[in-house]
């Protein structure tokens, strides 16, 4: 039986013109981000454990290797162990619909030509490759070695093709790199394990059923195969606990992809699971010397200068730190968390040394009742685009010195954390920075697409004027780059709210957090609204399913690291919604074999959550984008009407 899911009537949307976004404007001013002590105490603003960002996959994923079949065509053969019961396989390639797939398992031949075998076909959305998918669902009476043959007629060079296979065995592969500080010369390891019946984010207890574990590591210098060991010495846990590891080469910088293979036996049946981790190794760029100096900027602000050596040309960096003081009993307690994106400056005191500066509002002394001596804890310096940690320090003492005259005489109020009255940057002359004009002269609403999109996903007729459609088509942008381009394009508005799809929601939240912009002035119930945003990442970002390439901000490790820089006050400005398929067919018939239900074809519901944001519910019958089994979640006119009526402008 043939079931066609391709939505050919939507194909003209793929031909929407690509409008080049302008380069980010220079007028955008970085905010001195601050957060209250409870954001530190909750752990929300601390880097997550690397294990929590493990890339999980429920099947086995292969890149096909084609060989000439001697008859003027091409053939690719894949072998793997499978268990008895339901078996699904999906082929993704340009022209996959005309390729022939044959399946034999342990002497059972022609399994895709018999009764009960069901074929489904689907065309992928542009952001997922724009290729065809041919999927088969069948049942295997007994487990064993499966031989899957894919043939293609014609002498033309065959296209890149991927095959996903998932059997009935409830095993999930999970893998992660065990450090956030991936810098040439540092030591870090890849860790992998198999889990049972796990359908959420994070890491479950490993199941000790694996007998062979390997990683194929591809980087700038080529590909190599490494054995993963369960010896307690390879970055894994204890010897024999079911967790495997391998020390990764750290002598070269660049982008890396690690394909993990885990095989084993359980209940007399062998299994294979694979997953894929991507990561970026940086050249040494900055080193913290352990020295902090201070300077009173004005009646209210104290500048904290973290001394650093630049090991490469100075560039934009993000520096974050917790500020701790002492209570009346002399016990150290958190006062505030500070973060800022900017370029270091020569400190003028020591040749070759640079300052990474943060501004402390002395009102935090009144808010918390704390007093000097101060210290900075959990200091981290990151690249604002790929979010990798370039340097960090557990504790840096702040020397005793003069405090601003208003220290302890005023409080930090919520409206001073962001908005027209927020302190965005140090005044050039030591005087107070002039606030943005608080009067919204030209308010509007910005509609934003997501990652690698082709055109605006929202029907503009569902949203009232004045509105603006952000356009940066078929591009791979970091949240920071995306945010700066968004505000640059919408410069005609002096205040605006944002309705964002997918990465558009993350970019709007990043803009609100780190930059002073017209988003600060928006008036109305909902400043930021999003649909289908993978706030905690998606496995597809590492598994290689994004047309525009890997996006570090949207991997299952990068998403939580980015969230560790978003304070509670910013999260509280977001209203978000998640969706999933109707329950009859998977949104995307290939990625459904890899993602955990419920999911919308791209984003798992569990990873679409924004802790501290306003969850506006989860609904079925809507998928992430066009060309999926159910309508595009952005076409829900009823939800669009709600977002339009409640949008801040």
- Domain range annotation of the chain: 17-29+440-646, 60-166, 171-281, 284-416
234-251 confidence digits (pLDDT tens): 999 899 999 999 999 999
Q: What is the CA radius of gyration of the chain?
A: 26
CA distance 119 to 96: 12
The two domains 17-29+440-646 and 284-416 share their CATH topology (first three levels equal): no
Q: Which two tokens stand for residue 127?
A: 């952001």
- Confidence at residue 602, expressed as pLDDT on a 0 to 100 scale: 94
Instruction: Give strand pairing partners of 358.
Output: 304
Count CA atoms within 13 Å of residue 116 on its CB side: 10
- Confidence at residue 356, expressed as pLDDT on a 0 to 100 scale: 97
Count CA atoms within 13 Å of residue 629 on its CB side: 24
DSSP state of 206: P
Name the class of domain 17-29+440-646.
alpha beta
Instruction: Give all strands (DSSP E) within 465-506, no chain letters.
Output: 467-469, 495-501
Superfamily name with CATH number, domain 171-281: Macroglobulin (MG2) domain (2.60.40.1930)
Name the class of domain 60-166.
mainly beta
- Confidence at residue 95, expressed as pLDDT on a 0 to 100 scale: 94
244-279 confidence digits (pLDDT tens): 999 999 999 999 999 999 999 998 999 999 999 999
CA distance 416 to 410: 12
Name the class of domain 284-416.
mainly beta
Tally the residues of the chain: 649
- Confidence at residue 552, expressed as pLDDT on a 0 to 100 scale: 93
- Confidence at residue 2, expressed as pLDDT on a 0 to 100 scale: 38
- Confidence at residue 5, expressed as pLDDT on a 0 to 100 scale: 37
- Confidence at residue 584, expressed as pLDDT on a 0 to 100 scale: 77
Q: Rounded to two decimals, what is the model's pTM?
A: 0.92
Q: Which two tokens stand for residue 142?
A: 């007994």
- Confidence at residue 491, expressed as pLDDT on a 0 to 100 scale: 92
What number of other Cβ atoms are within 10 A of residue 67's Cβ? 10
- Confidence at residue 22, expressed as pLDDT on a 0 to 100 scale: 36
Closest CA to 208 of 176, 178, 230: 230
Distances, alpha carbon 541 to alpha carbons 152, 202, 548, 593, 644, in Å: 29, 16, 10, 15, 30
What torsion do the CA atoms of 503, 509, 511, 513 make, to the nearest 10 degrees? -150
Residues of the chain with pLDDT under 70: 1-27, 198-202, 419-440
């Amino acid at each position: 039986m043939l079931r066609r899911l391709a939505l050919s009537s939507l194909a003209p949307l793929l031909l929407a013109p690509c409008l080049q976004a302008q380069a980010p404007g220079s007028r955008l001013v970085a905010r001195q981000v601050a957060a209250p002590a409870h954001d530190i105490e909750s752990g929300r603003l601390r880097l997550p454990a690397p294990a929590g960002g493990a890339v999980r996959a429920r099947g086995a994923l292969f890149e096909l290797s084609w060989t000439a079949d001697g008859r003027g065509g091409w053939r690719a053969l894949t072998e793997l162990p499978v268990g008895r019961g339901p078996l699904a396989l999906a082929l993704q390639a340009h022209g996959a619909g005309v390729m022939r797939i044959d399946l034999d398992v342990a002497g059972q031949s022609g399994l895709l030509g018999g009764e009960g075998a069901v074929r489904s076909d689907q065309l992928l959305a542009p952001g997922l490759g724009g290729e065809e998918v041919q999927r088969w669902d069948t049942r295997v009476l007994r487990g064993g070695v499966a031989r899957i043959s894919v043939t293609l007629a014609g002498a033309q060079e065959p296209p890149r093709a991927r095959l996903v296979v998932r059997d009935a065995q409830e095993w999930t592969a999970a893998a992660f790199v065990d450090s956030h500080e991936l810098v040439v010369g540092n030591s870090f390891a890849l860790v992998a394990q198999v889990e049972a019946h796990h359908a959420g984010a994070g890491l479950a207890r490993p199941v000790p059923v694996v007998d062979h574990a390997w990683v194929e590591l591809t980087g700038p210098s080529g590909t190599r195969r490494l054995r993963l060991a369960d010896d307690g010495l390879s970055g894994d846990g204890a010897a024999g606990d079911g967790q495997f590891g391998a020390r990764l080469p750290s002598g070269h910088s660049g982008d890396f992809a690690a394909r993990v293979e885990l095989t084993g036996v359980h209940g007399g049946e062998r299994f294979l699971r694979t997953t894929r981790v991507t990561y970026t190794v940086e050249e040494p760029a900055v080193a913290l010397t352990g020295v902090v100096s201070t300077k009173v900027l004005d009646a209210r602000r104290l500048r904290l200068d973290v001394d650093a050596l630049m090991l490469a040309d100075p560039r934009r960096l993000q520096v974050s730190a917790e500020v701790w003081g002492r209570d009346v009993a002399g016990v150290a307690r958190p006062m505030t968390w500070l973060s800022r994106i900017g370029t270091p400056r020569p400190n003028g005191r020591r040749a070759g040394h640079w300052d990474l500066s943060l501004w402390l509002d002395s009102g935090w002394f009144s808010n918390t009742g704390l007093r000097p001596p101060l210290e900075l804890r959990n200091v981290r310096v990151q690249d604002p685009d790929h979010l990798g940690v370039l340097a960090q320090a557990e504790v840096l003492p702040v020397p005793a010195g003069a405090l601003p005259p208003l220290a302890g005489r005023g409080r930090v109020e919520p409206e001073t954390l962001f908005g027209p009255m927020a302190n965005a940057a140090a005044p050039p002359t030591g005087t107070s920075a002039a606030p943005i004009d608080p009067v919204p002269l030209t308010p509007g609403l910005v509609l934003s697409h997501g990652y690698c999109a082709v055109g605006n996903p929202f029907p503009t007729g569902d949203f009232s004027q004045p509105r603006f459609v952000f356009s940066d088509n078929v591009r791979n942008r970091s949240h920071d780059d995306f945010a700066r381009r968004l505000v640059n394009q919408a410069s005609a508005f002096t205040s605006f709210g944002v309705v964002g799809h997918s990465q558009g929601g993350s970019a709007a939240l990043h803009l609100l957090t780190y930059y002073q912009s017209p988003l600060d002035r928006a008036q109305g119930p909902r400043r930021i609204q999003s649909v289908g945003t993978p706030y905690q990442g998606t496995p597809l970002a590492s598994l290689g399913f994004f047309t525009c390439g890997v996006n570090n901000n949207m991997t299952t490790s990068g998403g939580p690291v980015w969230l560790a820089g978003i304070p509670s006050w910013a999260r509280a400005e977001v209203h978000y919604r998640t969706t999933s398929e109707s329950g009859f067919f998977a949104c995307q018939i290939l990625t459904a074999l890899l993602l955990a239900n419920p999911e919308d074809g791209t984003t798992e519901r569990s990873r679409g959550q924004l802790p501290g944001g306003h969850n506006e519910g989860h609904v079925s019958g809507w998928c992430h984008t066009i060309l999926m089994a159910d309508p595009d979640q952005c076409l829900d006119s009823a939800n669009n009407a709600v977002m339009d009526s409640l949008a801040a402008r």
